[in-house]
């Protein structure tokens, strides 16, 4: 932890009755950094967010913001949410229905004199392009507009940390991409430290400087999006970001036997069960060569910029196994029924222990 870190969670655990929702989590958000908490629903990511905001009483561990302890289970210190200087944006936006857009944004600015407050409201609304709607009531806004007002409301008091709880999942798909892009630009421009909770890996990779991938209350892996994508620590992490091909393989003399020739066993001992994980885009159609496996194309789905090809291995120990390949780039995809040679790329192929 450094004094400049906007948020630091130190071995934080949290129980709901008998259920351990958060289990020894350590998370850092540096100043100006956008960090995503990613994971399937129920993994504890929202609880981490609520603990950080002070909406949930801390049961175990410590939480610090900018070097100051705001929560410490050992001493019972638990700073109230209204004193933590955090901005919150919710999935349902939680705009106050009885207040205009401007009054919503001004809600957190009571400490300022009236003139300055108005100026700040204008500034915040201009930032999100909602100045024209200042006197509108929330119910008259579209989902995307509500999201922008919620963001302006959270940013207006210039909090030390912005917490976003699934802020885009209430929006429909087309709008989501646009708003997501606008938001990430806004966050970067304002330089605010942000912790964003999402279950959507694509969103996390798009938004985040760093990702914490959680499962069952624990952090499975943390790192930059590309690190997590190309250097997953286990099969769960690898498969969370895309559909993957999983093949059980044998470790023989420090190597695993695969349809595409032997690969390093990643330190697994001989005879240990191992698992080969191949991302669909790591499968190539290169023609016969060393390390190529014969296969028969069963199905081709053309997606425009890419094609999904299902091919069944026709030789070797894994004969009869169906693989999914994602074929990007130019050129015609193979035809159904065509005999092809499959080989694998350097990136996107992993060996893990396990059945």
Partner 1 sequence: MTTFSSDLTTAPRRAFRLLPRWQPWTLSVCLMAIAVAAPIVVVFSHLAKPNGELWHHLATTVLWDYIANSLLLMIGVGIGVVLIGVPAAWMVTLCRFPGRRLFEWSLLLPMAMPAYVVAYTYTGLLDFAGPVQSVLRNMIGDLVPLGWIPEIRNLPGSILILTLVFYPYVYLLARTAFLEQSSCVLEVSRTLGCTPWRSFYRVALPLARPAIVGGVALAMMEALNDFGTVQYFGVDTMATGIFRVWQGLGDADSAAQLAAILLVFVFLLLAIERWSRGRQSFAHTTTRYRPLPRYQLSGWRSAGALVGCSLPILLGFFVPAGMLLGWALNNTEYWMTWGFLGLIRNSFTMAGTAAVLAVLLAMVMAYALRLHASRLSNIAVRIASIGYAVPGTVLAIGVLLPFAALDHGINAWTKAQFGWMPGLILSGTLVAVTYAYLVRFLTGSFNIVETSLGKITRSMDFAARSLGRSPGGTLVQVHLPIMRGGLLTAVMLTFVEILKELSATLVLRPFDFDTLATKTYDLASDERLAEASGPSLAIALVGILPVILLSRAIAKSRPGEGEAEGEAGDHTDAYLPSLADPHLTAPAIAEK
Contact residues for partner 1, defined by CB under 8 A: 15-17, 19, 21, 41-42, 44, 46-47, 50, 53-57, 80-82, 84, 86-88, 90-92, 94, 96-98, 107-108, 110-111, 139, 153-154, 157, 159, 163, 165-166, 169
- In terms of CB distance, is 51 or 342 closer to partner 1? 51
Q: Which is nearer to partner 1, 33 or 56 (CB)?
A: 56
Give the DSSP H/E element, type plus range, for residue 118: helix 114-127
Nearer to partner 1 (CB atom), residue 156 or residue 293:
156
* 112: phi then psi, degrees, rounded to nearest 5: -85, 150
Residue 322 near residue 311, CB atoms below 8 Å = yes
Residue 113 CB, nearest approach to partner 1 (Å): 16
User: Which is nearest to 309 in space by CA: 243, 250, 261?
Assistant: 243
Q: In the bound complex, what is the minimum distance in angstroms from residue 159's beta carbon to partner 1?
A: 8
CB of 355 to partner 1, least distance (A): 27
Instruction: Tell me the C-alpha distance between 104 and 80, whole Å.
Output: 21
CA distance readout (Å), 53 to 6, 86, 108: 12, 7, 15
Distance separating alpha carbons of residues 325 and 308, to the nearest angstrom: 6
CB of 48 to partner 1, least distance (A): 10
Q: Tokens representing 291? A: 């390390």
Closer residue to partner 1 (CB): 55 or 205: 55
Judged by beta carbon, residue 44 or residue 232, the one nearer partner 1 is 44
Tokens of 347: 């990136």
Pick between residue 81 and residue 262 the one whose CB is nearest to partner 1.
Answer: 81
How far apart are CB 72 and partner 1 at their closest, in Å? 17
Question: Taking a C-beta distance cutoff of 8 angstroms, is the pair 284, 348 a contact?
Answer: no
Residue 63 Cβ vs partner 1, minimum distance, rounded to whole Å? 15
Distant-in-sequence, close-in-space partners of 279: CB < 8 Å, separation ≥ 6:
238, 242, 244, 245, 326, 348, 349
From the CB of 88, what's the least distance to partner 1, in Å? 4
Q: Give the Cα separation of 340 and 294 in Å (integer).
A: 6
Nearer to partner 1, 97 or 191 (CB): 97
Q: Which is nearer to partner 1, 204 or 265 (CB)?
A: 204
Q: How far is CA 93 from CA 97, 312, 346, in A?
A: 11, 47, 43
| Cα dihedral across residues 125, 130, 133, 138: positive or negative | negative
Q: Which is nearer to partner 1, 190 or 266 (CB)?
A: 190
Q: Give min distance, CB of 144 to partner 1, in A.
A: 18
Q: Note every long-range contact of 221-226, with CB atoms under 8 Å and residues 24 or more positions apart, other chains counting.
A: 222/27
Give the closest residue to 154 by CA, choosing from 183, 124, 134, 129. 124
Residue 20 CB, nearest approach to partner 1 (Å): 11
The one-character DSSP state at 208 is -
């Amino acid at each position: 932890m450094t004094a400049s870190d906007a948020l630091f969670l130190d071995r934080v655990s949290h129980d709901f009755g008998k259920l351990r929702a958060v289990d020894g989590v350590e998370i850092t958000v540096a100043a100006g950094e956008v960090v995503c908490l990613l994971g399937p629903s129920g993994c504890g990511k929202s609880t981490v967010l609520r603990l950080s905001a002070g909406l949930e009483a801390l049961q175990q561990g410590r939480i610090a913001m900018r070097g100051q302890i705001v929560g410490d289970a050992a001493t019972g210190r638990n700073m109230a949410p209204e004193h933590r200087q955090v901005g919150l944006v919710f999935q349902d936006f939680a705009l106050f229905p009885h207040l205009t857009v401007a009054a919503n944004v001004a809600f957190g600015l009571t400490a300022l004199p009236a003139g300055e407050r108005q100026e700040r409201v204008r500034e915040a609304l201009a930032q999100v392009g909602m100045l024209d709607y200042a006197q509108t009531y929330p119910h008259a806004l579209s989902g995307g507009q509500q999201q922008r007002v919620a963001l302006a409301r959270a940013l207006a008091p210039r909090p030390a940390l912005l917490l976003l709880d699934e802020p885009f999942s209430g929006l429909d798909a087309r709008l989501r991409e646009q708003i997501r892009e606008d938001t990430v630009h806004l966050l970067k421009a304002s330089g605010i430290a942000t912790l964003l909770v999402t279950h959507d890996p694509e969103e996390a990779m798009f938004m985040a400087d760093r990702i914490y991938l959680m499962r069952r209350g624990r952090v499975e892996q943390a790192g930059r999006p590309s690190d997590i994508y190309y250097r997953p620590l286990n099969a769960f992490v690898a498969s969370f970001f895309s559909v993957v091909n999983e093949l059980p393989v044998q470790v023989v003399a420090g190597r695993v036997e695969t349809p595409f020739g032997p690969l390093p066993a990643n330190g697994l001992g001989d005879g240990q069960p191992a698992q080969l994980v191949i991302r669909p885009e790591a499968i190539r159609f290169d023609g016969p060569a060393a390390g190529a496996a014969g296969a028969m194309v069963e199905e081709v789905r053309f997606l425009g910029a890419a094609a999904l090809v299902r091919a069944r291995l026709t030789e070797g120990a894994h004969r009869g196994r169906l693989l999914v390949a994602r074929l990007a780039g130019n050129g015609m995809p193979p035809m159904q029924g065509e005999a092809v040679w499959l080989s694998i790329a350097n990136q996107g192929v992993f060996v893990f222990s396990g059945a």
